[in-house]
C-alpha cells in the first residue's frame, strides 16, 4: 500500500511527492514507472530503526529493483547490496557501492561470476554446494587470493507464501542440506583458498509470519554451534530477505517491528554481525506503473475489458504469481465499474486484474498500477516486440528520467545478418 503522504491526490490528480502523475505521463509517455525517492529512504530507515541496537548490516537485495539510481539512493544511506550474479555485481559497482559492502549470492554462479566477485573484493561469496566451494577455491587460488565465503543452509522450513517464492524447503534447489554439513566442514578444512566467515539462509519472500524465521533460525543456531566447535570463526549470520509488504489493504503485512521483536533475542545469541537482505520491503511501495487506457469493450457475456498499454511484459507478477496490485485512476472519480484490466500481449494470462471493481475509466484515461517497485521493471521483457518502459524518479518537486524507454533499434541490436 502506498504512503498517501508520498502519493497524495492534489486537486483530484494522483501525484508522486510534489509532481502530478498526469504531467509525468504527458512528458515521458506511457507505460512509465514512477518511483518516489523518499519512499525508498523512508523504508530503509524504518527497517534500520526496527533493528537498531542489534549488531547488523543491511544489504539491499538488488534483484528487487536494480536501477542504478535506486541502488545509489540506498547506498547513500549507508546500505550494502546483495547481488545474485556478475551482472548484478556490475550494477552495484556502477552505482558506487563499495565492494566491501556487497554480498554475492546465487545458486548457479559461474566461474566467471566467482572470479569477478573475488577480484572485486566482495565481503563474502555465498556457497550453495560442495562443488561450488571447490570451484571458489580453485578460482581464488588461481588469482593468488583467498575468498571469504558463507554457507547457505537449507533449513527445511516451508514458509507460507506463494509456492514459487518459498526457498527454505528441502524440495527446493537452494542451499546445503543440514545433513551434509559435516562433509562441508571437512572440505572447508582441506581447501586452502576459502575462509568460512558466515552462515546464511533465505527462506522465501513475502513471508507474513515471523515464526517461520524463528524455526529456521533455531536450526541455524545449531549449525553455528557445530561450525564453531569445528574451529571456524563465524563472523556473519545472514538471515536473508523476505519481509512482507502490503499490496492489498485487506491483507495488511505484519509490521517489521514484530519481526524484530520476535527475532532479535535469538539473533543476539549468535555473537555475530547479522546481515539482512531485504528487497521488496524497501522498494515495493516506492513505485507506480502508469498506463493509458487504449480501448474498452464489452463481450456478449457482458464482460467488460479495459485494454491498457502496459501488460505482463512490464509487470509479470499477476500472471506469474496471481499477485494482487491495486489499480486506481490517476484523475479521481467517484464512480466505479467492474472490469478486467488487461494488456496488449498475446496471452490470456496478460492481465493486471480480473472482475475487479475499479474507478470508471474511458479510453485515453490514465491508470496507475500500485506497489510495483519490487520485481516490476526488473522482470520486464521484450516478448511480443515490446519495449521496456522508461523510469522516472521523483524527489520533492523534481523529476528525473532514470531509465530511457527502449527503442526499436535496441530490440535488434545484438542480432547479426
Ligand atoms: N536474498 C536472497 C538470497 C533472495 O533470493 C531474495 C529474493 C532476497 C534476498 C530478497 O527477498 P525479498 O526481501 O525481496 O522478499 N519475483 C518474486 C520474488 C522473488 C524473490 C527472489 N529472491 C515476486 O515478484 O514476488
**263 CA from centroid of ligand 1 (Å):** 19
All domains in the chain, ordered by first residue: 9-36+284-412 (2.40.37.10), 105-278 (3.20.20.10)
The conformational region for residue 389 under phi > 0 = left, psi -120 to 50 = alpha, else beta, is: beta
Q: What is the DSSP letter of 331?
A: B
44: nearest Cα among 214, 243, 211, 208: 243
- The answer, yes or no, to whether any atom of ligand 1 lies below 6 A from the CB of 324, is no
> Which of 242, 243, 324 to mutate to test ligand 1, by most ligand atoms within 8 A of the CB atom?
242
Active site residues: 346
Torsion, Cα of 127, 93, 378, 273 (10° steps): 50
pLDDT value of residue 158: 83
Which atom of ligand 1 is closest in space to residue 323's alpha carbon? Answer: 25
Q: What is the pLDDT of residues 19-62, one digit of tens each?
A: 999 999 999 999 999 999 999 999 999 999 999 999 999 999 99
- Between helices 256-268 and 210-229, what is the axis angle to 10°? 20
320 alpha carbon – ligand 1 mean position (Å): 14
Residue 74 pLDDT exceeds 90: yes
Question: Which of 60, 63, 369 is the best mutation target for the ligand 1 pocket, counting ligand atoms within 8 Å of the beta carbon and taking the most?
Answer: 63
- Residue 44: φ, ψ to 5°: -60, -45
Helix H segments across 121-252? Answer: 130-142, 181-190, 210-229
Q: What is the CA radius of gyration of the chain?
A: 23
Ligand 1 atom with minimal separation from the 244 CA: 15
Does residue 242's CB lie within 6 angstroms of at least one atom of ligand 1?
Answer: yes
Residue 160 has pLDDT above 80, yes or no: no
* Residue from 60, 246, 280, 314 whose mutation best tests the ligand 1 pocket (most atoms within 8 A of CB): 280
pLDDT tens-place string over residues 279-312: 999 999 999 999 999 999 999 999 999 999 999 9
Q: pTM of the entire structure?
A: 0.97
Model confidence pLDDT, tens digit, residues 344-370: 999 999 999 999 999 999 999 999 999
Yes or no: say if 391 and 403 are a contact pair by the CB < 8 Å rule.
yes
> 148, 195 in Cβ contact below 8 A?
yes
Helix (H) or strand (E) holding 398: strand 398-403
Amino acid at each position: 500500500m502506498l504512503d498517501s503522504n508520498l502519493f497524495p491526490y492534489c486537486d483530484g490528480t494522483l501525484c508522486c511527492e510534489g509532481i502530478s502523475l498526469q504531467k509525468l505521463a504527458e512528458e515521458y509517455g506511457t507505460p512509465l514507472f514512477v518511483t518516489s525517492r523518499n519512499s525508498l529512504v523512508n523504508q530503509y530507515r524504518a527497517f534500520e530503526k526496527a533493528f537498531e541496537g542489534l549488531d547488523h548490516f543491511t544489504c539491499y537485495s538488488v534483484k528487487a529493483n536494480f536501477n542504478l539510481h535506486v541502488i545509489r539512493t540506498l547506498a547513500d544511506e549507508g546500505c550494502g547490496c546483495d547481488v545474485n550474479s556478475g551482472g548484478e555485481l556490475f550494477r552495484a559497482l556502477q552505482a558506487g557501492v563499495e565492494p566491501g559492502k556487497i554480498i554475492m549470492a546465487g545458486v548457479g554462479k559461474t566461474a566467471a561470476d566467482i572470479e569477478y566477485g573475488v577480484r572485486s573484493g566482495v565481503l563474502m561469496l555465498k556457497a550453495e554446494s560442495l562443488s561450488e566451494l571447490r570451484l571458489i577455491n580453485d578460482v581464488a587460488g588461481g588469482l593468488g587470493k583467498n575468498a571469504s565465503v558463507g554457507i547457505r543452509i537449507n533449513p527445511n522450513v516451508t514458509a507460507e507464501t506463494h509456492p514459487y517464492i518459498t526457498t527454505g524447503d528441502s524440495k527446493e534447489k537452494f542451499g546445503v542440506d543440514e545433513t551434509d554439513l559435516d562433509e562441508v566442514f571437512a572440505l572447508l578444512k582441506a581447501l586452502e583458498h576459502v575462509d568460512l566467515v558466515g552462515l546464511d539462509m533465505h527462506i522465501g519472500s513475502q513471508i507474513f509470519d515471523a515464526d517461520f524465521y524463528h524455526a529456521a533460525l533455531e536450526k541455524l543456531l545449531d549449525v553455528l554451534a557445530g561450525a564453531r566447535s569445528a574451529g571456524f570463526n563465524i563472523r556473519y549470520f545472514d538471515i536473508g530477505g523476505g519481509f512482507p509488504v502490503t499490496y492489498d489493504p485487506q491483507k495488511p503485512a505484519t509490521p517489521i517491528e514484530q519481526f524484530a521483536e520476535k527475532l532479535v533475542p535469538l539473533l543476539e545469541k549468535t555473537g555475530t554481525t547479522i546481515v539482512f537482505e531485504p528487497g521488496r520491503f524497501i522498494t515495493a511501495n516506492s513505485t507506480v506503473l502508469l498506463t493509458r487506457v487504449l480501448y474498452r469493450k464489452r463481450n456478449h457475456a457482458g464482460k467488460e475489458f479495459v485494454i491498457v498499454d502496459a501488460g505482463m511484459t512490464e509487470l509479470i507478477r499477476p500472471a506469474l504469481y496471481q499477485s494482487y496490485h491495486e489499480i486506481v485512476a490517476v484523475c479521481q472519480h467517484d464512480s466505479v465499474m467492474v472490469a478486467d484490466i488487461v494488456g496488449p500481449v498475446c496471452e490470456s494470462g496478460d492481465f493486471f486484474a480480473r472482475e475487479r471493481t475499479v474507478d470508471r475509466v474511458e479510453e485515453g484515461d490514465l491508470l496507475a498500477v500500485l506497489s510495483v517497485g519490487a520485481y516490476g521493471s526488473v522482470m520486464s521483457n521484450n516478448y511480443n516486440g515490446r519495449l521496456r518502459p522508461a523510469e522516472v524518479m521523483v524527489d520533492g518537486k523534481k523529476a528525473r528520467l532514470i531509465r530511457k524507454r527502449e527503442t526499436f533499434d535496441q530490440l535488434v541490436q545484438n542480432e547479426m545478418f
